[in-house]
Homo-oligomer: A and B are copies of this chain.
Amino acid sequence: MIAIAYLGPHGTYSELAAETYARWHNTANYQLRPFRSITRAIQATVDHDADVCVVPVENSIGGSVAETLDTLWQASNLQVQQALILPIHHALVSTAQVLSDIRVVYSHPQALAQCQNWLAQSLPEAQLTAINSTTEGLKYLPEQPTAATISSLRAAQLHSLPVMAHPINDWPDNCTRFWVLSPQTATQGSHTSIAFGLPTNTPGALLKPLQLFATQNINMSRIESRPTKRTLGEYLFFVEIEASLASPQTQAALQLLDSCTEKLKCFGSYDLIQAEACKRASTVA
């Protein structure tokens, strides 16, 4: 039996990712454990209250999920066991008879952002209200025929609630990347993620780490800066490379990287499972 922690409640996209992970591993023997925040799901895995957690790291519209990156950097020694890329198709769920009856739309801030053009055109007068997840607002709908939520089709079905429009996301190729994390060491896989700080006040300080990868002919598939929180203008960099931690090239780059960065953290190597609809994703930098 494996216990999988994720951002709940029942019906979220994170739950769908958790189930995809279990199915991929061909295990029927798993327990889903929803938590109220990403941080709590990660902490449960650090504390061995769950075997793995499945958390969102990046969306193709909203960008990085800051809570995931910050929590991983600060608190945990978890490693990435797998990356999952899943399509996100939002539905407008409501018990209203017609769109013009809707006065308020509840959803997670990222989901509201991903549908902002549709909302501006179809519900220009509705008040948009941010809540903790895409499914939390579903409970208000049976009592409030002037309310709607932005949720997945699956969540609407689970709660037997009517879908008024689908899909309503502004960009059709809306995909989210999830990480499966556990305390197990992960050294083999097509991709490796690391993070580091830099010595301050040096022109070109970021250049050196990037040069090390280019010299080893290692492609970088992602770079993201996050504030160190000490002072404005100090950053951490989260980098994903297209190489296994076990490869001699990566080992050579990481050894040199240690001398030109401050506090280097490695989150391990992993393979990518990518849904068909998200296959256009490619390398940029």
Chain A interface (Cβ within 8 Å of chain B)? Answer: 58-63, 66-67, 85, 109, 113, 128-132, 171, 173, 175-177, 198, 200-201, 203-207, 210-211, 213-214, 217-227, 229-235, 278, 280-285
Q: Contacts A210-B206, A223-B206, A227-B61 given: A200-B232 contact, CB under 8 Å?
A: no
Cβ–Cβ < 8 Å partners of A227 in chain B: 58-63
Question: Is the pair B131, A85 in contact by a Cβ cutoff of 8 Å?
Answer: no
Cβ–Cβ < 8 Å partners of A223 in chain B: 206, 225, 235
Q: Contacts A280-B231, A281-B233 given: A226-B63 contact, CB under 8 Å?
A: yes
Cβ–Cβ < 8 Å partners of A200 in chain B: 282-284
Question: Is the pair A282, B210 in contact by a Cβ cutoff of 8 Å?
Answer: no
Question: Is the pair A278, B214 in contact by a Cβ cutoff of 8 Å?
Answer: no
* Residue among A59, A132, A203, A206 facing the most chain B CB atoms (10 A cut-off): A203
- Report which of B131, B229, B283 forms a contact with A201, defined as CB distance below 8 A: B283
Cβ–Cβ < 8 Å partners of A201 in chain B: 282-284
C-alpha spacing A219/B173, complex, angstroms: 36
Apart from the given pairs A63-B227, A206-B210, 12 other A-B contacts in the complex at a CB distance below 8 Å:
A58-B227, A60-B231, A67-B113, A130-B132, A171-B229, A171-B230, A176-B232, A201-B284, A204-B214, A204-B220, A205-B285, A224-B225
Question: Is the pair B130, A283 in contact by a Cβ cutoff of 8 Å?
Answer: no
C-alpha spacing A140/B285, complex, angstroms: 48
Closest chain-B Cβ to A114's Cβ sits at a distance in Å of 9
C-alpha spacing A67/B130, complex, angstroms: 15
Closest chain-B Cβ to A88's Cβ sits at a distance in Å of 10
Q: Contacts A130-B130, A225-B224, A225-B225 given: A230-B173 contact, CB under 8 Å?
A: yes
Question: Is the pair A203, B229 in contact by a Cβ cutoff of 8 Å?
Answer: no
Question: Is the pair B210, A203 in contact by a Cβ cutoff of 8 Å?
Answer: no
C-alpha spacing A171/B206, complex, angstroms: 25
Cβ–Cβ < 8 Å partners of A59 in chain B: 227, 232
Question: Is the pair B210, A214 in contact by a Cβ cutoff of 8 Å?
Answer: no
C-alpha spacing A144/B39, complex, angstroms: 29
C-alpha spacing A220/B235, complex, angstroms: 12
Q: Contacts A132-B130, A226-B63 given: A221-B204 contact, CB under 8 Å?
A: no
- Report which of B204, B219, B224 forms a contact with A210, defined as CB distance below 8 A: B204
Closest chain-B Cβ to A231's Cβ sits at a distance in Å of 5
